[in-house]
Chain A
Amino acid sequence: MNVRLFVIGAAALAVSAASLSLPLRAVGQSAQAAAKPAIRRLPDGSPDIHGTWMRVGGGLNEANPPDSELKAFGVLSEPQGFGQGPVAAGPGGEVAEPRVPKYMPNPRPPQGIIDPADRVLPYTQEGRARRLDYARNMCCPAKSLAYLELSVRCAPPQPWAGGGVNIVQRPGQMAMFFEANHHTRVFYTDGRPHPSPNIRFFGGHSTGRWKGNVLTVDTTNLDGRAYFGVGNTFPPFSQELHLTEQFTVVSDRLITFVLTYDDPKTFTRPVKSAGFFYPANEDEELSPEMTCHEGSYSMQNIFGF
């Protein structure tokens, strides 16, 4: 028997049978399939989101900080026109072409505080006291090391830091390599537990699980030194901070996320902030390195030794 002809014939028969059995649904499915945005998949079926992305949002800047002392620091809105406009001169004084993000979504998904809806953070009494203490003593000069802005101290980036990021996935893990301050985040998706609470980190420890197109990441074991600095909100989180992130892969060109901050010592209830990732331009490559400690004399200049 000619095997090739048999296989072709069998395939034709299978296609015909499928077409005859469900013609209307097949048409409907085709229309739906056409409407669904494309998402690359890994062999295990989870979305393949490797590549270079830009992360926007997820911060906790308030629309109108209620405390009169904080009002003196002004209001910082979420970045508008992100990635557009003139760029700073390069190391040789040259001015590069403005970055025009080709894949910035339009309209933009939500970014910043989404819960509470009035964007006023529900501080506990202790959290509010810490916040005001910080605002009074952080500038200028700062009262002591504890009140210095974390970026001046070249602190490890917070888990909610943004900017350009390379995502590399492999079975059981997703790694994010950020451009700023050689920040990395690793989400273990192999079902492992968090370490014991005796082991703590500035950026915490993250585990994740995929369900369909949604990656839910759970971060604990923070050491309480991170805080959402600059602008109008200051206080350090406590060690009880528990972060939950839901990353939804909408398409190969958009990932939205909601970040839930649950810190009962700082907030009376969990608060949520939204953001999104969009792909970098094809010809855009992240800087190989942005360091802080290696080039900073801030501490010596501030303290004199």
Chain B
Amino acid sequence: MLVTGVGILLSAVLAFAQTRPPAAATQVPRTSDGKPDFSGIWQALSTAAWDLQDHSAALFGTVGVPPGRGVVEGNEIPYKPEALEQKKQNFANRATEDPAFAKCLLPGVPRATYMPYPFEISQNPALIGIRYQFARAVRTIDLAGRSREWLKGWPDFWMGDSRGRWEGDTLVVDVRKLDERSWLDHAGNFHSEELHVVERYSFIDRDHIRYEATIEDPKVFTRPWKMTMPLYRIIDPQAEVFEWDCRFDQDSEKYKDAVPK
């Protein structure tokens, strides 16, 4: 009788454990309006900033480009033939022409996400602000449903114009008006002013985000394509995204002994 009772109790406990949601999924932080709260410091740990596709090690600066698996679905970036020639030219000149690694200019979207440096998300129900360590890059993502009509006729932005919405627990960010001068990686993958990026952020668990970016640019690519990667939370409570304006530092060094003409 006792054994049977214990057995029944044990079975009940095991059944409860199996039907209960995984503990990590229930611990996702939420804002006051019940949405997943992505606030915190995050970093991608891929080599996508150097090359979005599969690549071997290569020389770059003093240390070089690390080898890595690509983050592109199918490992193919579907260039139009004439655009592919531009990409090859970019690749040949990347040491001096990469706007990010060579010139310390703003990395654009989505490259800012997978640069090998941390970024910090600050979120409230109406607005998300993201501060990237590289080049003091910043984005604000409107969540209040504001129209971007007033920006018609404005020049494009290096970090684009971002409008966010929720699909369940997934943050979907629509990014347009991206300045064509940014590159998608150090390998010379590029875009035109017609680039349209749709990002999707969703928690895998409280310390990991699944990040997906769909790239659409009918001037450069034959069809939309997608990249995915995890983002890792920096859990050190003392971690910060410090100020880093490497372009100002570059210019300060370049012109330190120069005389105005």
Contacts and interface: CB of A to CB of B under 8 A. Distances in A.
A173 B1 CA distance: 59
A201 B39 contact: no
B198 interface: no
A8 to B, nearest CB: 29
B86 interface: no
Interface string A187-199: 0101010000001
A276 to B, nearest CB: 22
Interface residues of A, number: 47
Interface string B211-246: 000000000000000000000000001101111010
Nearest to A223: B243
B151 interface: yes
A285 interface: yes
B105 A50 contact: no
Interface of B is mostly: loop
A304 B261 contact: yes
A294 B259 CA distance: 23
A153 B248 contact: yes
Given A90-B154, A155-B245, A288-B140, 11 more contacts: A153-B248, A169-B122, A175-B122, A182-B159, A184-B136, A186-B131, A201-B243, A285-B146, A286-B140, A288-B139, A299-B255
B161 interface: yes
B61 interface: no
Given A170-B123, A202-B245, A144 B259 contact: yes
Q: Using C-beta atoms within 8 Å of the partner chain, give the interface range for chain B.
A: 35 or more
B131 A288 contact: no
Given A168-B129, A202-B243, A289 B255 contact: no
7 contacts: A143-B260, A145-B255, A153-B248, A154-B251, A184-B136, A285-B146, A293-B105
Interface of A: 43, 50-51, 90-92, 94, 141-145, 153-156, 166, 168-170, 173, 175, 177, 182-184, 186, 188, 190, 192, 199, 201-203, 285-289, 291, 293-294, 299, 302-305
B124 A170 contact: yes
A169 B128 CA distance: 10
Nearest to B256: A145
B245 to A, nearest CB: 5
A91 B155 contact: yes
Contact of B131 (A145, A175, A203, A289): A175
